Structure 1
Amino acid sequence: MSDSKKKILVLGCTGSIGTSTLDILRNEKNRFECCGLSANSKKTELENLSKEFNCPFTLTKTDGIDGIKRLIDETKPDIVVNGIAGSAGLKPSMTVLDAGIDLALANKETVVMAGPLMFEAAKKSGSRILPVDSEHSAIFTLVNSCGKENIDKIVITASGGPFRTFPREKLKSVTIQDALKHPTWDMGVKITIDSATLGNKGLEVIEAVRLFDVRAEQVQVVVHPQSVIHSLVQTKDGIVYGQFSEPDMKHPILQALDWPEILPSFMKPFDLTDTLDGTRTLTFEKPRTDDFPMLSLAFECAKKSASYPIVFNAANEVAVQAFIENKIGFLEIAELVKNVIHKYEWTKIPRDLSDVFEADKLAREKSKEQIIH
């Protein structure tokens, strides 16, 4: 075991982010060492990975946050990759930051729910928050390259999801199976449905506002079906800079693990003409916010701030689960979220995690009331 290797702890190791991270660790054994693993419920898979990487593990369904704390104390990682899906990733993120360890963050809900508290914890402990979302990883790199003071606008790209070309009438009858047929990314169930509603892009808008300390008015979403340009920034002189790579989550994960260095890797270098016919077309279009209103709702919550981003996330999680369980239709996801946002006052500014979870709990209760069984 070499001291020169960077020690990586992977939370949510059996999910899509965790699986991609472990693939990197297998291919870059000279640079990285997997020092610990966690998963929610896939015990057999977790035990097999623990044997493969010769490292301890915790099953969060039984051990909870205490298991993660013990794992951090035991393994003393240099950086933790948080690939836990949904709001369940918040407490683990805060635990990592409180311990003074760098956080490679794929869990956007953490920033959406408790961004200001996270940044406060990171500042206090000296941790760095390194975004792993492909879009925010791209923005992070571009902001650092161009200089925050020179940035006028952040442009987040969206694939448009599987229903990008569907007329509204057709959206009324789409099924869970239809929603899971993402054209470019292979992701978990919840995030794939979020991509279909543009709810995922909405979460990314709120995340960008918080991560990069910009106004919601400075963020723009552009549909880019090829998913080759992962995001762009526009500088004050009107020039746009973008980051290009094939749609593979290993790129942003590796970028976070190596930061601030940029090193050669096992990944194939990007080539604009390396396609079957030697040509590549990149297209851009405005999002159809009337047909996919989750994006407009997210911008509204980003502008209002206070507890609104927490409510957006909570209501969305409840609505998506209801859609998965065939309790509501696809278009009712946004309708439910809109009702919860607009029917109640969410103006309380969270001062600590208990405030965050209080707003989250109340929003979930109000969301469930909207669902007709």
Structure 2
Amino acid sequence: MRRISILGATGSIGTSTLDLIERAPDDFAVVALTANRDVSALAAAAIRTRARFAAVADAACLPALREALAGTGIEAGGGVEAVCEAARMPADWTMSAIVGCAGLGPTLAAIEGGRTVVIANKEPLVSAGEVILAAAARSGATLLPADSEHNAIFQCMDSARPERVRRIILTASGGPFRDWSREAMAAVTPEQAVAHPNWSMGAKISIDSATLMNKGLELIEAARLFPVAAHAIEVIVHRQSVIHSMVEYVDGSILAQLGPSDMRVPIAHTLAWPDRMETPMAPLDFAAIGRFDFEAPDPDRFPALRLAREALDAGGARPAILNAANEIAVAAFLERRIGFLEIAAIVEDTLASYDPPAPHDVDAVLAIDGEARRNAAARVKDCVA
């Protein structure tokens, strides 16, 4: 029986992971679950799975969590340190699915335990890739990607012989505005932006998909995870979201991983790895799919992808700044304080205004992240004014 902890258990990735675990109760034992502040969902999940520990990042929610768990024997914790405590609890497999850079500390805490850590929150690898990879090397932790694209690459990649790989091809759905003009996108509402045509995801990642920043972050993450040069990672828009990514080899062969647009498929791969497990997915109906379409992403309509490529090429603190500024801009858009097109503009302005030395530890990453957030917030205020 594999001992499981889930950091971010009430989000879309967390609930998909719980669904798979609860379908195979004899194979998994839940050790710890965390959430930001969704007490009711966290408590319900902890009770259903008989978890040992549940923690909310918002310490103000701890009394409500204790009340919800009263009489169950499940220990409750509150605050960031409690979430890190959950990450440190002995487990064989940890899902790291806390949205944004808030997941950095708990992700590192899990990695330092030397277990298998599944990375679903790409921001820690983007902002602190060198720190994360160094920690994994020290502890002997195994990092597995849960993003559908990176999981596809992992399944197709010969990591032991990277010299055989010519390029990695990341596929992108193109988001809900792939056919819209920039003029039309200027009037986009948050409701329109979160309505992804192919995937059911949380608000932040849905907005990132709509701007293509999500694909930019995935570009940086792929460069961290796989032993290929940055210029050998390309992005192609594939509207059907059936091919989740591809790896091309030097002989011209291309291996692709295909599957339904459901995160339970890559999550199941990581849960059972190096084995396989059953999922409730129906087989792909290729006749119904009918066709695969591909097109190059448009850097003029979707500048976020260009900004991410530039941040990756520049290295140092640039990816951390990119990520922090984007989180602030996306939050401002969801609050209707700025327009859709201003998300990428704020990120670009923040990158242009702030260029600290490369971070070498968590404290330096967090300092860069904090300053970038303050700079981006100032630009949001300018837009509102």
Which TM-score band applies after superposition, normalised by the shorter structure?
A: over 0.9
1:290 to 290, 300, 305: 300
Gaps in structure 1 of 5+ consecutive residues: none
Partner of 1:61: 58
Equivalent residues, number: 363
- d(CA) in 2 for partners of 1:127 and 1:196? 33
Residue type of the alignment partner of 2:358: I
What's the CA shift for 1:101?
1.9
Residue type of the alignment partner of 1:216: A
Three-state SS of the structure 2 residue aligned to 1:330 is coil
What's the CA shift for 1:264?
4.0
Partner of 2:85: 70
Partner of 2:62: none
- d(CA) in 2 for partners of 1:105 and 1:31? 21
Report the aligned-residue RMSD.
1.5
- Answer yes or no: is the 8 Å Cα contact 2:118–2:144 preserved in 1: yes
- d(CA) in 2 for partners of 1:41 and 1:48? 13
1:7 lines up with 2:3 in the alignment: yes
Residue type of the alignment partner of 2:31: C
- Answer yes or no: is the 8 Å Cα contact 2:162–2:228 preserved in 1: no
1:163-218 deviations in Å (ceiling 9; x for gaps): 00011211111111111111000000010000000011010001011111332211
Q: CA 1:72–1:108 in 2, change beyond 3 Å: closer, same or farther? A: closer
Identity among equivalent positions (%) equals 40
Three-state SS of the structure 2 residue aligned to 1:358 is helix
Partner of 2:72: none
Q: Mean Cα displacement is larger for which, 191-200 or 22-31?
A: 22-31
- d(CA) in 1 for partners of 2:361 and 2:38? 32
- d(CA) in 1 for partners of 2:138 and 2:249? 31
Aligned positions of 1:316-335 closer than 5 A:
316-335=326-345
Partner of 2:39: 43
Partner of 1:302: 312
What's the CA shift for 1:332?
0.9
- d(CA) in 2 for partners of 1:274 and 1:17? 29
- Answer yes or no: is the 8 Å Cα contact 2:88–2:109 preserved in 1: no
Three-state SS of the structure 1 residue aligned to 2:370 is helix
Three-state SS of the structure 1 residue aligned to 2:363 is helix
* TM-score for the superposition, normalised by structure 1: 0.94
Residue type of the alignment partner of 1:123: A
- d(CA) in 1 for partners of 2:223 and 2:150? 11
2:200 to 159, 178, 186: 186
Q: CA 1:207–1:72 in 2, change beyond 3 Å: closer, same or farther? A: closer
- Answer yes or no: is the 8 Å Cα contact 1:89–1:107 preserved in 2: yes
- Answer yes or no: is the 8 Å Cα contact 1:223–1:284 preserved in 2: yes
What's the CA shift for 1:73?
5.1
- Answer yes or no: is the 8 Å Cα contact 1:340–1:367 preserved in 2: yes
- d(CA) in 1 for partners of 2:365 and 2:294? 37
Partner of 1:34: 30
Q: CA 1:352–1:11 in 2, change beyond 3 Å: closer, same or farther? A: same
1:313 lines up with 2:323 in the alignment: yes
- d(CA) in 1 for partners of 2:210 and 2:87? 36
- d(CA) in 1 for partners of 2:315 and 2:119? 21
1:271 lines up with 2:280 in the alignment: no
1:89-148 deviations in Å (ceiling 9; x for gaps): 111100001121210110100100111111111111111111100000111111148842
Q: CA 1:350–1:73 in 2, change beyond 3 Å: closer, same or farther? A: closer
Partner of 2:70: none
Residue type of the alignment partner of 1:236: V
Gaps in structure 2 of 5+ consecutive residues: 60-77
Q: CA 1:327–1:69 in 2, change beyond 3 Å: closer, same or farther? A: closer
Q: CA 1:145–1:360 in 2, change beyond 3 Å: closer, same or farther? A: closer
Partner of 1:208: 222
Residue type of the alignment partner of 2:351: I
Partner of 1:20: 16
Q: CA 1:219–1:41 in 2, change beyond 3 Å: closer, same or farther? A: same
- Answer yes or no: is the 8 Å Cα contact 1:28–1:266 preserved in 2: no
- d(CA) in 1 for partners of 2:133 and 2:305? 25
What's the CA shift for 1:269?
5.6
- Answer yes or no: is the 8 Å Cα contact 1:28–1:265 preserved in 2: no
Partner of 2:118: 104
Residue type of the alignment partner of 1:357: L
Residue type of the alignment partner of 2:22: R
- d(CA) in 2 for partners of 1:67 and 1:86? 18
Three-state SS of the structure 2 residue aligned to 1:231 is strand
- Answer yes or no: is the 8 Å Cα contact 1:38–1:46 preserved in 2: yes
- Answer yes or no: is the 8 Å Cα contact 2:159–2:227 preserved in 1: no
1:156 lines up with 2:165 in the alignment: no
Q: CA 1:140–1:160 in 2, change beyond 3 Å: closer, same or farther? A: same
Three-state SS of the structure 1 residue aligned to 2:209 is helix
1:129 to 120, 139, 143: 143
1:282-311 deviations in Å (ceiling 9; x for gaps): 110000111100000000000011000000
What's the CA shift for 1:271?
2.9
- Answer yes or no: is the 8 Å Cα contact 2:317–2:355 preserved in 1: no
- Answer yes or no: is the 8 Å Cα contact 2:359–2:365 preserved in 1: yes
